[in-house]
Amino acid sequence: MANITVVSEPDHTSAGPDADTSAARPRVIRSAGLDWVKFDAHVARDGSIDPVDKALYAALSSFADPQDRATDPDGCDAPTRAVLAACIGRSVDTVDRATKRLEQRGLIRVERRVDPDRPKCHLPSVYELCDHEMWDERAAARTKARKAARKAKATSAPPEASNAATPGRTDAATPGRTGAATPSRTDAAVLLPSKKEVKNPPNPPVTHPQRSDAAGVRTAEGEGEDFAQDDKRPDVDGALVAEILRMRDDWVRSDVVKALRHPKVARRPAELVAAAFRIVAGDDTTDSPGRLAAAGPWWAEAARTTRPKRPTLPDRCDDVRHDANVPHDRMLYDDQGRASRCPICHPAVLTGARSPTTPAEEEITP
């Protein structure tokens, strides 16, 4: 739990200018791991947003991760409703109403969790601020506008003079004696090394071979060559990047690669990440690829789809030594009741754990 500091300060809210300000009231300050937080400029200048909603938005920014803009519900300083109420100096009911208003404006997303052991109890919710998605959209719009401006400027620029124009007398003039002069002996002289350099030649400069693989993305048929490989960054699957861009043509390639290189995504198995990214990209409510790094339900759904299925065993063989009363038993029983694995239909043989040539007479403890 975060530390709480109580500071006494004069109460200047008393009525009248002659009121006694010597009386002090406590001011509660919750310590934070950051000295500053990110706050959307449009939200700060929007007069239609209630001041309490802005205060709650700022408090959530202090708990959110600077990269994925989501809170950690399992950390030591989880933003519970009571903690948020203490941060903005309001009641828990006021926090609930402000949270709903921020959700309706599309500024935050809330994942409300229920304790599986106690269904009537709730765990700390996961708050995700949507400002990073708005920042990505605005950055993409500005980039598009700059490209359009450069294209328009290049189209309207006057064409340069052609080199194929008929040369004048000056161009056709024969070079003078100075231009055609033969180099002098000074120009043709060769500098010989000194005796000291001949005895102690300098070390040759160390040259590093240039990397031939300019693409850090594993691609198929030349997809993703525009990303230079960085040894400090994990590689991403170029085929997956191309597939996600085909699903969402409104996304930018660099944002997709950035989402795959996020530490919370890169440490997961590649097959699980691919399945989860397809789910996130197929969701119409997803505005930015950065949503993949959040703790959403798509990870559990992807884990269910990528879980390997058990192999289906064929029917039991017709050997009369099987127990007819137990249809699923794959053991063979002799006249004395001793059991052994069936060399034809036993699962250990079918799955390759045992060779089919194992004699059936090998005694197995039932």
Task: Return per-residue pLDDT of the chain as tens, 366 residues.
Answer: 445 554 444 544 444 545 444 444 545 555 566 677 888 888 989 999 999 999 999 988 888 888 778 888 777 778 888 999 999 999 999 999 999 999 999 999 998 888 888 887 888 888 999 988 888 888 999 999 998 988 888 888 766 554 544 555 554 445 555 554 455 555 545 566 666 665 666 666 655 545 444 444 444 444 444 444 444 566 778 889 999 999 998 999 999 999 999 999 988 988 899 999 999 998 888 889 999 999 889 888 888 887 766 667 777 888 888 887 887 788 888 888 888 888 888 877 776 655 444 444 444 444
Q: Which two tokens mark 350?
A: 């079918």
Cα–Cα distance between 251 and 254 in angstroms, integer? 9
- Are the CB atoms for 97 and 89 separated by under 8 Å? no
143-146-149 Cα angle (round to 5): 150
34 DSSP assignment: -
Cα–Cα distance between 69 and 135 in angstroms, integer? 12
| pTM of the model as a whole | 0.36
Cα–Cα distance between 181 and 183 in angstroms, integer? 6
Location of structure tokens 């791991």: 33
Identify the pLDDT of residue 242. Answer: 92
- Percentages of the chain per state (helix, strand, coil), in multiples of 5: 35, 10, 55
Cα–Cα distance between 354 and 347 in angstroms, integer? 9
Beta strands, E only, the chain: 4-10, 24-30, 108-114, 122-129, 331-333, 339-341
Identify the pLDDT of residue 214. Answer: 40
